[in-house]
Structure 1
Amino acid sequence: MAASVSAVVSLPSSKSTIVSTRTSSLISPERLTFTKVPHYKNVSTSGRLLSIRAQITTEAETEAPAKVEKISKKQEEGVVTNKYKPKEPYVGRCLLNTKITGDDAPGETWHMVFSTEGEIPYKEGQSIGVVPDGIDPKNGKPHKLRLYSIASSAIGDFGDSKTVSLCVKRLVYTNDQGVEVKGVCSNFLCDLKPGAEVQITGPVGKEMLMPKDPNATVIMLGTGTGIAPFRSFLWKMFFEKHDDYEFNGLAWLFLGVPTSSSLLYKEEFEKMKELKPDNFRLDFAVSREQTNDKGEKMYIQTRMAQYDRELWELLKKDNTFVYMCGLKGMEKGIDDIMATLAAEDGIEWATYKKQLKKEGQWNVEVY
């Protein structure tokens, strides 16, 4: 840090006197100033009296450092949040509702498209809220909203920026008393018929926004309906043309499901791989049908472990972005893999992950 010196000299007579001055190498001579002032202290030099006042200040004391504004690595420009709220939701209309899992899959998953007439300007990676019809019997009030990740790109499945799509699994389970319980909102959505109205809130969320860099490596880790935001990413990357965005990086998708009949959007993803084989890698983890070399069930972290060193090398680059969406159970397994790899390089994974999150390169949305 450079320092500036302000020195003030007053003489008892009107005649000027030359004072010898020595400056430190840390002080710029151009910053020295001398001005006549009243007496403060008498100093003898060569038999003459001088009155000298001197003050040393640093630039930090005179100039406050400029605040550096953090520049996001994600596509945050123009992001809208909370345009519609529960008390005043947008009323959309169901245009399409299709089951996308096989008949022998353990559960039903549906893909649905709602009209928005362009009134819900969302970005890839955001979510919307849905307020199901009816009254909550527990309190006699309207049901509360449920959040769902958006499964379509910003221009929608029809490419006209007037729709929004969701990927929803019908929730049905038996409770401890042996009674079948149906999820309120998931069953409401899966049962929707074309033409039916639906109350929509949002859009919300910035955690899962896509990277700005079209040359980035984007690693997507999804289980079940956690595939939704990644479908939105991949449609923009491979099925659409944009004047301000042309993807030339690497998109690597890991999708975990229980059975092959549970695979979601498989045909779409395989088409993307055909279009740009050098830019898209696709790995499925089908837990009930696949095993690794040790005979262990093939969960998403098991599949990732087969590429552990390659993934770790990618993760050390500042243009690699990891996105995780789906069941919370996969997070610990993935952390365990990364912790082992980091330790081999003498790096503490917990600390390194915090830095990645701070830079927007490690993004998690699990439930």
Structure 2
Amino acid sequence: MTTATYTSVTEAAVKRAIPMNVFRQSAPLTAICLENRELVGPGGIGTVRHLVFDTSAGPYPFLEGQSAGIIPPGQDANGKPYKLRLYSIASTRHGDTGDGKTFSLCVRQLEYAHPETGETVYGVCSTYLCGLEVGAEVKVTGPTGKAMLLPDDPTATIIMMATGTGIAPFRAHLWRMFRENNPDYQFRGSAWLIFGIPTTPNILYREELEDFQQHANFRLTYAISREQKNAKGGRMYIQDRVAEHVAELWDLLQRDNTHVFICGLRGMEDGIDAAFAGHVAQFGVDWPEYRTALEKAHRWHVETY
């Protein structure tokens, strides 16, 4: 993996200034689709696309961990314009091209059976984005969100837990930590990604993630539910991996500059909480109370859907 040096006169200025809703639904930015490629390998489940958008009409300032709003064209059944959808940005503030004029998204096409008719229903915005042609215009709002911002401390311990497209903000974090050579942010801490996916072909950004393992301070752990077994012989989900490593994770949490980030399906939270609660009880620790303290200290970051 190549390492590029990024310089920007605005780098120091935006370091702690958090841009919020620079563009709104009433006055969105018109971005241009530069890239739309499939991330799921042959034999995988569903479709997930990596999209890159040109924001030269902006600028569109954002920080790693923020989200962009996309306004799909058309109207709903009531004749009203479709509401915007939020997607975690999957690139650093410099974008995939490094010039600060793009941002990227990781989008899974939503598909489900109608509860009454059984008819296949496709998500409005996700289908729109997954089918975008290069050169197409897109209406963008935002950026928004503060919960998933990477801490400024370059010596921090960063623990990331993701399922599916929840990998998006962590791709941004990992590029920030390991791929870019930023004068104001030289990461010297440690990072651990625990990534839950159904099959090996569904490992999004697999080549990038595994290439990051050349860095001694990055650790990658998969939970591949349809291929791996947990301790009880059932499917291996992310909460099972957390339970396997909970003693080590708990030790890491004792460091004042350890941050936990959780992104993906909302159902993952309960299992992660259960794993920690079961472990810390032996120390007389009330896990919900301890987790609340971590949240107040801005060390426990969650964005689930």
Q: What's the TM-score once normalised by structure 1's chain length?
A: 0.78
Please give the per-residue CA displacement for 1:71-93, whole angstroms capped at 9, x wherever unaligned: xxxx9612110010001100100
Find the counterpart in structure 2 of residue 151 from structure 1. 90
Please give the per-residue CA displacement for 1:137-181, whole angstroms capped at 9, x wherever unaligned: x22011110000000011000000000100000112221212111
Matched, 1:85 2:24: yes
Instruction: Give me the whole-angstrom Cα distance separating, in 1, the residues matched to 2:122 and 2:232.
Output: 38
RMSD of aligned C-alpha atoms? 1.1
Give the Å deviation of 1:288.
0.5
Among 289, 295, 303, the alignment partner of 1:351 is 289
Instruction: Give me the whole-angstrom Cα distance separating, in 2, the residues matched to 1:352 and 1:200.
Output: 38
Among 132, 138, 153, the alignment partner of 2:72 is 132
Matched, 1:214 2:121: no
Q: Percent identity?
A: 51
Find the counterpart in structure 2 of residue 103 from structure 1. 42
SS at match of 1:232: helix
Among 234, 237, 244, the alignment partner of 2:174 is 234
Give the aligned residue type for 1:290.
Answer: Q
SS at match of 1:142: coil
Contact 1:104 1:261 (C-alpha < 8 Å) held by counterparts: yes
Matched, 1:330 2:268: yes
Please give the per-residue CA displacement for 1:41-77, whole angstroms capped at 9, x wherever unaligned: xxxxxxxxxxxxxxxxxxxxxxxxxxxxxxxxxx961
Instruction: Give me the whole-angstrom Cα distance separating, in 2, the residues matched to 1:334 and 1:315.
Output: 14
Give the Å deviation of 1:347.
0.9
Higher relative contact order (CA 8 A, sep 6+): 2
SS at match of 2:279: helix
Among 187, 190, 202, the alignment partner of 2:142 is 202
Give the aligned residue type for 1:229.
Answer: P
Matched, 1:115 2:27: no
Contact 2:190 2:218 (C-alpha < 8 Å) held by counterparts: yes
Give the Å deviation of 1:303.
1.0
Matched, 1:182 2:112: no
What is the aligned residue count? 290
Which portions of structure 1, spanning 4 or more consecutive aligned residues, are displaced by more than 4 angstroms?
none
Instruction: Give me the whole-angstrom Cα distance separating, in 2, the residues matched to 1:328 and 1:236.
Output: 26
Instruction: Give me the whole-angstrom Cα distance separating, in 2, the residues matched to 1:347 and 1:255.
Output: 27
Find the counterpart in structure 2 of residue 307 from structure 1. 245
Q: What's the TM-score once normalised by structure 2's chain length?
A: 0.93
Instruction: Give me the whole-angstrom Cα distance separating, in 2, the residues matched to 1:144 and 1:163.
Output: 23
Instruction: Give me the whole-angstrom Cα distance separating, in 2, the residues matched to 1:99 and 1:122.
Output: 25
Please give the per-residue CA displacement for 1:261-284, whole angstroms capped at 9, x wherever unaligned: 11101100111111x1x2100001
Find the counterpart in structure 1 of residue 81 from structure 2. 142
Instruction: Give me the whole-angstrom Cα distance separating, in 1, the residues matched to 2:114 and 2:15.
Output: 42
Find the counterpart in structure 2 of residue 173 from structure 1. 112
CA radius of gyration, larger in = 1
SS at match of 1:192: coil
Matched, 1:261 2:189: no
SS at match of 1:270: helix
Contact 1:76 1:209 (C-alpha < 8 Å) held by counterparts: no
SS at match of 1:272: helix
Instruction: Give me the whole-angstrom Cα distance separating, in 2, the residues matched to 1:328 and 1:135.
Output: 28
Give the Å deviation of 1:133.
1.0
Tell me, which stretches of 5 or more residues in structure 1 are unaligned?
Answer: 1-74
Give the aligned residue type for 1:124.
Answer: E
Q: Name the CA shift for 1:293/1:340 in 2 (closer, same or farther; >3 Å).
A: closer
Contact 2:243 2:276 (C-alpha < 8 Å) held by counterparts: no
Contact 1:214 1:245 (C-alpha < 8 Å) held by counterparts: yes
Instruction: Give me the whole-angstrom Cα distance separating, in 1, the residues matched to 2:284 and 2:87.
Output: 39
Tell me, which stretches of 5 or more residues in structure 2 are unaligned?
Answer: 1-13
Instruction: Give me the whole-angstrom Cα distance separating, in 2, the residues matched to 1:295 and 1:100.
Output: 29
